[in-house]
Amino acid sequence: MANHKATKKDVRQSAKRRERNRYYGKTTRNAIRDLKALTDKAAASDKMPEVISMIDKLAKRGVIHKNKAGNLKSKLTKRVTTLA
């Protein structure tokens, strides 16, 4: 365990950040899953901007890589546009 005051604080901060990142990541993954489950094009198109915003925020915060964010958005857009 850390002995220095600053190191103890860093451990606390990183634990807090990890929990926050896990929450945002899980919430976004659930939103993506729900979007993929939709079969109605209108409903999927309405939900799409919200999910894309969540993905962009993850990339901005550094939870996921910016290229992964781009790939996710590309795949989701392609999936929504091909709905009947």
Contact 57, 24 (CB under 8 A): yes
- pLDDT (0 to 100) of residue 84: 73
Q: Structure tokens of 63? A: 């939870």
Entry pTM? 0.86
- pLDDT (0 to 100) of residue 9: 94
Count structural domains, the chain: 1
Which range of residues forms the domain containing residue 77? 29-84
Residue 42 belongs to a domain: yes
Residue 6 belongs to a domain: no
- pLDDT (0 to 100) of residue 65: 97
pLDDT, mean of each 10-residue run, the chain (84 residues): 88 96 97 95 95 97 96 96 88
Residue 66 belongs to a domain: yes
* Intra-chain end-to-end CA distance of the chain, in Å: 57
CA atoms within 13 A on the CB side of 62: 2
